[in-house]
Amino acid sequence: MKHERAIRSFALIACLCLPACGPSYPKEKLGESILKLFKKEVGTDQVQSKVVGKTLYVSFPIENMVTASLDLPKDVTEKLENAMLSVSRIAMSTDEKLDFTILNARDETWGVQTTFIRRIEDLKFMYYYKISKSDFDERFILETKKFDPSENQPKEELKDLSLQDYMARWVAFRINFGSRANLFLGAVLGLEKVTPEYDGASKTLTLTVENDDHYAADKSSSTLGAQLLKNSILEQMKKVETKYSRSLPKGETWAEDLAVKSSKGKMIFAARKKEWMDYEIKNSDR
């Protein structure tokens, strides 16, 4: 769909952000700088920003993100692109120590929020050609959620994002995105949403899977879909380990155990780290 292609293209524009010689956006005036830049580049002064630990949150309203045509209007696409570019420019040119940027664009009329999450180190890796363009294209997270339009914006806890948390959300995003981008995959899995929860104490990633009623009722489809779902998740678990395990702080690790459950709490499958690290894509999985 054009909508999905447009969203993915947003990940590419960040590579145009070149680091400046000095901090163009000093941390003492970061909020003021974001406000000015968004007013100039995005055309709105209704922007909120906050730094939590090493995570920069930026939130702003946008109209007509939901339309009957199913495509994002050109002016909405341009505003989203400009917003992402602005956040990337700030992150690359500030003396505030940042690891992640989280950009929330919300349509207050329909109660829909789109969240773009980017790791700053990935921007630097792309700029210095340490990773390929195709690898960079995969290194972002896109999430959507609904909220009560009467509240103007969703209630959410702002927390400092760790690399382990980012990895967990990346795996869930890749499964969600894949089921929407590939209509055949989505039809087989009957997937509606995958939600991650990472427990650092037990080193366990729990993925909660919500499926449609048809998938749950059809036993043969469910068995086939469960195996495909397992293969898909193991593949993404291996990918995220390959991309980020070496970037974890010294002495820290990520998940050692994986639990995939239904929305009713029923275990779909469990896996240990060795299983996804040893996993290789088979022809039948492609």
pLDDT band at residue 73, thresholds of 50, 70 and 90? Answer: confident
pLDDT band at residue 14, thresholds of 50, 70 and 90? Answer: very low
- Cα 96 to Cα 48, 126, 235: the distances in Å are 17, 20, 35
Give the CA angle between residues 246, 22, 16 to the nearest 5°.
Answer: 60
Can you name the residues that pair with 112 across neighbouring β-strands?
A: 107, 146
Report, as an integer, the average pLDDT of 84-93: 94
DSSP assignment of 92-140: HT-SS--SEEEEEEEETTTTEEEEEEEEHHHHHHHHTTSS-HHHHHHS-
Q: Are residues 91 and 173 in the same domain?
A: no
pLDDT at 106 over 80: yes
Instruction: Report the range of poorest mean pLDDT among 194-203, 208-217, 272-281.
Output: 208-217
Q: Are residues 39 and 139 in the same domain?
A: yes
Can you name the residues that pair with 193 across neighbouring β-strands?
A: 210
Q: Identify the residue with better confidence: 209 or 20.
A: 209
pLDDT band at residue 22, thresholds of 50, 70 and 90? Answer: low
Q: Are residues 92 and 104 in the same domain?
A: yes
Sheet holding 204-211, edge to edge: 191-199, 204-211, 257-262, 267-272
Main-chain phi, psi angles of 27, to 5 degrees: -60, -25
Q: Are residues 217 and 110 in the same domain?
A: no
Domain boundary among 141, 161, 181: 161
- Cα 138 to Cα 58, 68, 69, 115, 117: the distances in Å are 22, 29, 27, 16, 12
Q: Are residues 275 and 195 in the same domain?
A: yes
Instruction: Report the range of poorest mean pLDDT among 24-28, 179-183, 260-264.
Output: 179-183
Distance CA 92, CA 109 (A): 33
Q: Are residues 138 and 177 in the same domain?
A: no
Q: Are residues 6 and 145 in the same domain?
A: yes
Domain boundary among 115, 144, 161: 161
Q: Are residues 278 and 156 in the same domain?
A: no
Main-chain phi, psi angles of 40, to 5 degrees: -80, -45
Distance CA 51, CA 245 (A): 25
Write down the mean pLDDT value for the chain: 86
Whether 19 contacts 92, CB under 8 Å:
yes
Q: Are residues 25 and 140 in the same domain?
A: yes
Closest CA to 25 of 115, 76, 101: 101
SS3 call for 212 = coil
Q: Which two tokens stand for residue 110?
A: 């329909």
> How many domains would you assign to the chain?
2
pLDDT band at residue 219, thresholds of 50, 70 and 90? Answer: very low
Q: Are residues 173 and 194 in the same domain?
A: yes
pLDDT at 55 over 70: yes
Q: Are residues 138 and 243 in the same domain?
A: no
Q: Identify the residue with better confidence: 212 or 238.
A: 238
Domain of 180 in residue numbering reads as: 165-285
Instruction: Report the range of poorest mean pLDDT among 1-5, 101-105, 141-145, 184-188.
Output: 1-5
Q: Are residues 13 and 155 in the same domain?
A: yes
Report, as an integer, the average pLDDT of 148-163: 89
Instruction: Report the range of poorest mean pLDDT among 38-42, 74-78, 240-244.
Output: 74-78
Task: List CB contacts of 134: < 8 A, sequence separation 6 or more.
Answer: none
Q: Specify the pLDDT at position 239.
A: 96
Whether 196 contacts 162, CB under 8 Å:
no
Report, as an integer, the average pLDDT of 247-260: 95
What pTM was estimated for this model as a whole? 0.86
Q: Which two tokens stand for residue 59?
A: 């939130």
